[in-house]
Amino acid sequence: MSRERIGNPERAVIRPQLSRNANVDAMRLPYVSDPIETKTPEEDAIVSRIRARRSPRPLLELDRALLHSPLVADGWNAFFGTIRTRTTLDAAVREICMCRVAVLNRAWYEWAHHAPLAQAAGLSDEAMDTLKGKGWGGLTKEQMAVVDYTDAMTKHVAVPQAVFDKLKSLFTDQQVVEITATVAAYNCVSRFLVALDVGEKNGSEDCLSARISNVPNVSSPRSTATSPEVLKEQAKRMEGYVEQVEAGLSGIKSMLARLRETDLGTGV
């Protein structure tokens, strides 16, 4: 075991570095043991509800991490049970949201669980490559609109109007809300997973094999052989990226203008 000093030198702490090959849990916290030891009837009921949602599978590593706080685990289980099974979204759209968030946030535990579900929902190998940032094909215009919306929410939080309008033109108001909730929810999941390294996937080979491209390489064989309709869609996506950059520059210019107007010497 190696040890690493992190943080401010005056307040340095020691963090153990566990080998991926060590015969121990490598998550940053120990998993709650299963069978779960509960303290109250309420906790018994919480564990039963989580097991019921997972059935016939056993509890996941994620569950055993969350169960350090049973009430948090219970709320999580209820919320994500709704996101996963009680919206009007078709399975492919739902899994596109989840898988794309996993790639953007390098949440490989999330990817490992949802990529097979995405393919079971009908997504081709080409579509999966697109979700990983390796291609531009295999998705319908509706699905590509979901990818663009997921990208904006996950990478920038603020969604350009053009990206939102595209999504709104293809989905109902209810579906837009459900897509938004799904993307937001799985950003929560991915951040929890990566922060604690649930499932010991951080830094895995998947992280090296799924590179993200913000814009297409127009000189690549794939893009030169693409149909005019798809090229138009790519152009629209690039316009959306330009809008994001322009919005950022506008904010910077406004900040500079305010700084110039402020008399920094007066302390006001």
Q: Residues 130-166, buried b or exposed e (16+ Cβ, 10 A)?
A: bbbbbbbebbeebbbbbbbbbbbbbeeeebbebbbeb
Q: Are 98 and 114 in contact (CB under 8 A)?
A: yes
Do residues 150 and 101 make contact, with C-beta atoms less than 8 angstroms apart?
A: yes
Q: What global pTM score does this model have?
A: 0.69
Q: Are 199 and 193 in contact (CB under 8 A)?
A: yes
Q: Could you tell me the CA-to-CA distances from 253 to 95, 157, 244, 249, 265 in Å, in that order?
A: 39, 20, 14, 6, 21
Domains of the chain by start residue, with CATH: 2-84 (no CATH), 89-254 (1.20.1290.10)
CA distance 238 to 255: 26
Tens-digit pLDDT string for the chain (268 aa): 333 333 333 333 323 333 333 334 479 999 999 999 999 999 999 999 999 999 999 999 999 999 999 999 999 999 999 999 999 999 999 999 999 999 999 999 999 999 999 999 999 999 999 999 988 899 999 999 999 999 999 999 999 999 999 999 999 999 999 999 999 999 999 999 999 999 988 887 544 354 433 333 222 333 333 455 555 655 666 666 566 666 666 667 666 666 676 654 444 3
* Cα(22)–Cα(126) distance, integer angstroms: 36
